[in-house]
Amino acid sequence: MANYCSYFARFLFQRYQWVISTDADELLFFPNNLTDLLLELPTEFCAFKPEYAIAPVHAVEKEQEFCWRSNSDSWKSRKTYVYESEMFLKPLVARSPVTWGPGQHFIQETCTTLKEMVLLHAKHVDFRRLVKSTGNWKSSDQTANDKKFFPRVEELNQSESVEKYCHTLINDYLRRPEIKLPFEVHNRIFG
């Protein structure tokens, strides 16, 4: 997958000046207009990572189900608990081809932090959806690399049920220290 992403980015650079790489469950928040921001970035770096990587967690006992069809009100309902996820402080914006490592969480080239850029990882905002996607993951064939780079794969395979595993996962995250975002950054995301 890492090789594929590297090759695909090289293909995109044949026509485009920038490539932004995120997973389907990730949202990016930039400090201002994206076009102006890209023009102002320092030229000595080929890739940029966010200053903050956050993951709102569905506190099942306190919060209602997440409404995916709603607007920003849905995100406001998930600010009860937001934790920092260093694993997602990864290169996301590139101006030239890069060589991705496993999981697309690091590159071999020089990377720097883009101030006030936030990556929001949405995997844990909806318990019901987490159970469904985790069930799909459990039923798929796992490779040796999955087990090497994603240690939770083995925990999932040994768990009594997907739902119990997800409850444990959410509770583990809820015990982590909560991130304190600067007011303007928090307001930009959660209103």
Query: H/E element holding 119?
Result: strand 111-121
SS3 of 41, please?
coil
Buried/exposed code over 12-38 (b: 16+ C-beta within 10 A; e: otherwise): bbeeeeebebbeeebeeebeeeeeebb
Write the pLDDT tens digit of every residue in 108-146: 998 999 988 999 988 888 888 889 988 887 777 767 766
- At residue 29, what are phi and psi to the nearest 5 degrees? -120, 125
Q: Are 119 and 52 in contact (CB under 8 A)?
A: yes
Enter the DSSP assignment of 111.
E
Q: What is the pLDDT of residues 43-82, one digit of tens each?
A: 888 899 999 998 888 888 888 888 777 666 677 777 677 8
